[in-house]
Amino acid sequence: MNPILKPRIGVVGVGHLGQHHVKHYQKLSSAALVGVFDTDMNRANEIASAYNTTAFPSVNELLNSCDAVSIVTPTVQHASVAEKCIRARKHVFIEKPITTTVDEADALIHQAGKNGVIIQVGHIERLNPALRALGDYALNPKYIEVQRLAPYTARGTDVPVVLDLMIHDIDIILALVSSPVKSIHASGVSLMTDSVDIANARIRFENGTVASMTSSRVAKDKVRKTKIFQKDMYVTIDFLLGLTEVYRVMSDKNPKAILTAPLSEENNPREIAYKKPPVISADAMQLELANFIASIQGEETPIVDGIAGREALDIAIQIHDMILEDIH
């Protein structure tokens, strides 16, 4: 399809997260928010009134008035809603996970290619300012350690913790490691729900990189931390605090380093240089939706496209299935 100068946007599903899509689209001068649809018409009317837009009585009527759609429904509805939109030749932004099965994701990707439309997936942590702060660093991880913990809430329990929380980190790791997955080992338990609530997974890649991830939705406090280890460099990222720290082993003195420490008394001592790359505050959702609009306009490409969303889902499902086999 040809680029669209000012895309007309609709939002399907205006619950807790969908409302934020509406809010951001209303602020984006590069797009025109035309309206919303929700199976709860009272909610649709409430959001439409709050953001000065239109509540449509059906998805089809919304599609007749727009060029692209954000799909912010429960995950089990992603495939059916997205297929309807894609067949109508509308670009789609799908909140993560892209679908419930890899076959569904493959079908959507095939249809999108056939109809010449974009699929973007809402893996919002790719745009977290603390991760973006590493943009100038050459990352070649050898070991990655991740903790993503959250207190229990009823929202989000329609999917297992691997597909709700861990999939964010799977997506980031797949983007960081340019190598096929060699093996996966996983374990977990169910505590609060009938699904998996705590999960640990260890992924080994063909190039030797290892990633260890722990996700829990029954923790006391929120924790979202990632540590990246590679030759001569160690990085810590706190996604919640917006804090990024880089420790580099250097062979010469670095006057710009905040802190250096000699490792030996040799003639050419190596030093550990500590830096805090500037973390530029930004709203990650606004950035990803702006990227979606710019992609429709032909100016950018989706930061997380349908294929990347499908790959993250594939690994997440393998991890979840492995845990289920273990606990049953």
Produce one character per residue of 195-213: b if its CB has 16 or more CB atoms within 10 Å, e if not. bbbbbbbebebeeebbbeb
The domain covering 127-282+315-327 belongs, at the CATH homologous superfamily level, to Dihydrodipicolinate Reductase; domain 2 (3.30.360.10)
Geometric angle at alpha carbon 24, from 18 and 29, rounded to 5°: 140
Confidence of residue 268 (pLDDT cuts 50, 70, 90): low
pLDDT at 4: 86
Q: Whole-angstrom Cα distance, residue 66 to residue 60?
A: 10
312-323 pLDDT, tens per residue? 999 999 999 999
pLDDT at 271: 78
**Per-residue pLDDT averaged across 322-326, rounded?**
89
pTM of the model: 0.92
Confidence of residue 326 (pLDDT cuts 50, 70, 90): confident
- The closest of 141, 124, 153 to 235, measured between CA atoms, is 141
For the chain, how are helix, strand and coil distributed in percent, rounded to 5? 35, 25, 40
Q: Measured in Å, how far apart are the chain's first and last C-alpha atoms?
A: 48
For residue 108, how many other CB atoms are within 10 A of its CB?
A: 24
CA dist 167 to 92, 218, 248, Å? 20, 17, 29
**Per-residue pLDDT averaged across 159-172, rounded?**
93
106-144 pLDDT, tens per residue? 999 999 999 999 999 999 999 999 999 999 999 999 999
CA dihedral 190, 194, 200, 205 (to 10 degrees): 160
Position 259 pLDDT exceeds 90 = no
Confidence of residue 172 (pLDDT cuts 50, 70, 90): very high
Domain spans in the chain, listed from the N-terminal domain onward: 8-117, 127-282+315-327
Q: Environment class of residue 165 by beta-carbon count within 10 Å: exposed (0-12), middle (13-18) or buried (19+)?
A: buried
- The closest of 44, 43, 48, 5 to 23, measured between CA atoms, is 48
Confidence of residue 256 (pLDDT cuts 50, 70, 90): low
**Per-residue pLDDT averaged across 213-230, rounded?**
95
**3-state class of 319 per DSSP?**
helix
Q: What is the mean pLDDT of the chain?
A: 93
Q: Whole-angstrom Cα distance, residue 48 to residue 273?
A: 52
Which stretch, 189-198, 225-234, 267-276, has highest mean pLDDT?
225-234
Cross-strand bridge partners of residue 92: 69, 119
pLDDT at 97: 95
Q: Whole-angstrom Cα distance, residue 160 to residue 44?
A: 27
7-62 pLDDT, tens per residue? 999 999 999 999 999 999 999 999 999 999 999 999 999 999 999 999 999 999 99
**Per-residue pLDDT averaged across 149-163, rounded?**
79
Position 263 pLDDT exceeds 60 = no
Element (H, E) at 284: helix 284-296
Backbone Cα Rg of the chain: 21
- The closest of 117, 115, 72, 80 to 97, measured between CA atoms, is 72
- The closest of 62, 66, 101 to 80, measured between CA atoms, is 101
Q: Whole-angstrom Cα distance, residue 292 to residue 326?
A: 39
Helix-helix angle 102-115:306-327, to 10 degrees: 170
The top-level CATH class assigned to 8-117 is alpha beta
Q: What percent of the chain has pLDDT over 90?
A: 81
Geometric angle at alpha carbon 164, from 320 and 296, rounded to 5°: 115
